[in-house]
Amino acid sequence: MGRLKPAAVAVAGGLGLATVVTVPIALTARPSGAAGMPVMRAAQTTKKTSARPTRHTTTPKPPSHTPTPKTTPTPTPTPAPTVTKTVAPPQRCDVANGYPASGMTAAPYPQLMLDFTDVWPLTRGEGVKVAIVDSGVDTSHPQLPPIDTYDVTNTDKRDCNGHGTMVAGIIAAQDQRSSHVPFLGVAPKVQLISVKAATQDTNNPPRPVAEGIRRAADLGADIINVSITLPNYSFLKSAVEYAQHKGALVVAAAGNTDKDKKATEQELYPASYDGVISVGAVGSDGKVAAFTDTKSRVSVVAPGVDVNSTWPHDSYASRPGTSFAAPYVTATAALIKAYHPSLTAAQIKHRIEATADGRTSVGSGAGILNPLRAVTAVLPEENGQAGTATVKPKPVAIVTAEHKDTFSRTVALSFVGGALGIAGAVVAGGIIIPAGRRRNWRPGRRTPSSEREETG
């Protein structure tokens, strides 16, 4: 026992020392724990980690809880599309110059053919909103009126093609004849709206065109000119119906077809939709243009061969196409709307078709546009009476082919020859009859040839 006592004391002293050293650590780790296993675990943990006490207390847990950003990715995809839409590169604008106003020495033939200035004492389109869904308009052209401009192509509002600027000039170019500019717009007092929906002549995406028609209708356009042709799309038809439901009249080009593709030409839209005025083209000779798409339904025709109009860079150009026939009808519809503000779009369409000149060729529809008659005609059906237009169209307005009329020429020559014969007989009778009476109708004395030569 005596030998064991010092050993026991040593052991007891060692245990007491251990208790003194480890208790504070155990208390810092788990202050509310019991004095058994938790303290031991804490002691074991303390002994192993006493050199680096911060490893277990701070570093392990934070990394496992940082994945909270996983909840934030959901809002981030939405800004991406809007960024690409607004940051679309601007359209390259390198349209070539046209010719100066001095290049027109006389009034272009469409003005002479349509005589639309005869309507101006009555109306010039005041108060009517006309939208041009096209390639934009060069609003800086000195002959164009102020124009409200919009863009649905996500490029910019400029006309980098020239197409829309020509359409605008045909509709509303100002009268500058005092400055020796012979070109005139049909309805110079309308309020023009440009909705840019195309950036090139062909192969334009169809959806901006449909969106442009809707935008024009929302802007309150009374007449919407669409000199763009497309295949049939449900969203395009829906856009046209939307505009019609808002009371707008849609006027569209019937379309152009190359001669070598005539056998495969198809209906084009929006010209072929119900309620749309579809416009074909004629030349100065009155013939339906060979490029007019005859598969499309044609309402009327208007000048569309070598048409002069405004062009970007304060210049002018001459171009063919049903694209430039359509705005003559659009402007005439605006004149009608200004003079008859209570008429609906359907009534304006009917008036234009009912008063057109002649109908003698495939692709001519009701005939050639007649602005004066379209504005001033008295239509009984508009007054609730049954019947047709009281004005008769010109009997011959569209030429199909030129031919020699040999029969008429023969009859005319025969008539002239007969008239000369009768006149000669009358003259002869006036000489011969009195002489015969003087001789009591006896034969006169024959004069010998020698005497004739002497007295002649």
Residues forming the active site: 134, 163, 323
State in Å, rounded, how far the first CA of the chain is from the last one: 201
- How far is residue 262 from each of residues 27, 254, 298, 374, 426, measured CA to CA in Å? 99, 14, 16, 32, 62
Residue 196 near residue 186 (C-beta atoms within 8 A): no
- CA 97 – CA 46 distance, rounded (Å): 89
The closest alpha carbon to 192, from 241, 148, 230, 227, belongs to: 148
Q: Which amino acid is at 99?
A: Y
Measure the CA–CA gap between 47 and 22, rounded to whole angstroms: 9
| Axis-axis angle for helices 206-218, 234-245 (nearest 10) | 10
Given a contact cutoff of 8 angstroms between Cβ atoms, the answer to whether 209 and 132 are in contact is: no
Q: What share of the chain is helix, strand, coil (3-state, %, to 5)?
A: 40, 10, 45
DSSP readout, 323-348?
HHHHHHHHHHHHHHHHHSTT--HHHH
Which two structure tokens, joined as six digits, stand for 339? 């003079």
Measure the CA–CA gap between 140 and 223, rounded to whole angstroms.
23
Collect all residues with Cβ–Cβ distance below 8 Å to 350 and sequence separation of at least 6: 379, 381
Which tokens go with 167? 């359409």
Q: Is 225 helix (H, G, I), strand (E, B) or coil?
A: strand
